[in-house]
Amino acid sequence: MHSLQSFFISSPLSPLLLPGVTGFLLVMVLTYKIPLRFKSLFLLSLSFPVGLALSSLALFWSYEFLGQYAKQAAIISMAIVCFILGSNLIWQSYQKHRFYRQDSLSIDQPAPSLKASKLGTVLTVIVTIGFILCLFNFFEFILNRLTWNPVGGWDARYVWNLKARFFVRSTEYWRDMFSPLISSWSLRDYPLMLPGSIAWGWNWLGREMLFWPGVVNLAFFLSIALLTIWYTASRSTLWHGLLAGAFFITMPSFQTWVAALYADIPLGFFITASAALLIQAARSRNRNLALLSGLCTGFSMWTKNEGIFFSIWIGFTVILLLFSKHLDRQDKKWFPVFFLCGFAVPAFTAWYLKWNYGGPGIYLQTGRSFGDYLKALTDGARIQYIAANFAAFKASFALWHSLWVFFVSALIFRPMFLSKNRATTYSWVLVLLVLLIDAGYFLIFQITPIDLRSHIQWSLSRLLTHNGVLALLFIFETFSPIDQHPQNSI
């Protein structure tokens, strides 16, 4: 009994409990009637990131308006949200059973997949064992690295964790994190998803436990792995999904940045989830998935400033979807509305933070004229230098294990693997977003007021993690055969 109580209050994993359950219930409530393949993987991949992001929102608004009661208010508000979602789920479940109780087969029930071949079963067993070994290797690496440096890299120490400390140490003076006296390096316009999630855990534990920021980053990293497995497996087979997941887990670039405890892995999750959910929403023509996609897009904006760029790119993609011949008039009418509904709350919070506390950013309001920007944008030598660096970073096997080579191959050979199947429609969304995100960062480097060489050196490899998983999904979507599951056919 004592050990159980100790787990719920003081274990490093205990602060995950309420966000995890709340995230799970929110996703479950929104997708209760949607017959997705490998739904448990889908739910598990979204639960913790969505829950942690929600807890950071609850924490921020509690601190903003409830002063000394903020810490308790954040936990109570999450518990209330959890209770409301749980009640809604019970109600939906009751309604469903009442409605279908005379039917032996619910229409929500996914139809059974075709019987797996013997080769498929053998491959699933082999790849599952391989995946578990990769996971073991990864945990050995990450625990070794976090023991060596539990406070992470520069931004983790002096930006994200510092902001979390302001939250934890004072409900009265937490706004001093935006003080102009330290703003030149603490970057007061940075959004607060990661500091809020870290502060949530530290408040829950009652102390600044060293391992907690690592647990937060690990939760996002493993959620990306699950999302990759779900996305690939849901249109192909489980072993294809596990192989894609193993490829992600073993990629050095992602391993490096999860150990650095930066906000790039969480941002990478929300970018990937937004795109995957949007594609699934269009394929299954479901508005609630569009809402979840919008929510994840909003969370990307609440995680890092790069999320603002991504919101523009995915907004553009939503507009392009309106021209799709596979969506009917009602879908085209409601998709953007649902997407915006999901997007609104986290995006408003990010805007509120910038408006009230942000101050001038490093790119805008720097006193440079339109001519200065135009000169930077058309500087041939600069463009060549940035392009060469993009190529060099992407070609690095030590960082990417040939991910970008596979991506280009998938683009080139895509026509060979095309099939007339609903499961391949909208793959262009992945490609478009990969290219737009790259183009956005290219543009940023062109106008950066910081020394270009230093800026590329310290940020390019982690910026590429933002769209790296989208590229991975596209590769496996191209090179995996489509399972003839009823949900995958037209």
Residues of this chain that interact with other proteins (CB under 8 A) are 10-12, 130, 134, 137-138, 140-141, 143-148, 150-151, 157-158, 161-162, 165-166, 169-170, 172-174, 176-177, 179, 181-182, 185, 205, 209-211, 243, 246-247, 250, 252, 255, 401-402, 406, 409, 413, 416-417, 479
Name which of 351 and 479 has its Cβ closer to other proteins.
479
Name which of 42 and 174 has its Cβ closer to other proteins.
174
Cβ pair 460, 243 in contact under 8 A: no
DSSP for 153-215 reads SHHIIIIIHHHHHHHHH-SSSGGGGG-TTTHHHH-TTS--HHHHHHHHHHHHHTS--TTHHHH
- Calculate ∠ Cα 360-53-176, nearest 5°: 40
State the minimum distance, in angstroms, from the CB of residue 481 to other proteins. Answer: 8
Q: Rg of the chain over CA atoms, in angstroms? A: 23
Q: To which residue do tokens 């769209």 refer? A: 467
Name which of 109 and 179 has its Cβ closer to other proteins.
179
Name which of 166 and 302 has its Cβ closer to other proteins.
166
Cβ pair 282, 427 in contact under 8 A: no
Name which of 151 and 387 has its Cβ closer to other proteins.
151
Name which of 28 and 146 has its Cβ closer to other proteins.
146
State the minimum distance, in angstroms, from the CB of residue 375 to other proteins. Answer: 28
Q: To which residue do tokens 């309106």 refer? A: 322
- The Cα 231–Cα 477 span in angstroms is 9
State the minimum distance, in angstroms, from the CB of residue 146 to other proteins. Answer: 6
Per the structure block, which two tokens stand in for 204? Answer: 């829950």
Name which of 40 and 421 has its Cβ closer to other proteins.
421
State the minimum distance, in angstroms, from the CB of residue 487 to other proteins. Answer: 23
- The Cα 23–Cα 13 span in angstroms is 16
State the minimum distance, in angstroms, from the CB of residue 296 to other proteins. Answer: 27
State the minimum distance, in angstroms, from the CB of residue 133 to other proteins. Answer: 9
Cβ pair 482, 236 in contact under 8 A: yes
Cβ pair 17, 51 in contact under 8 A: no
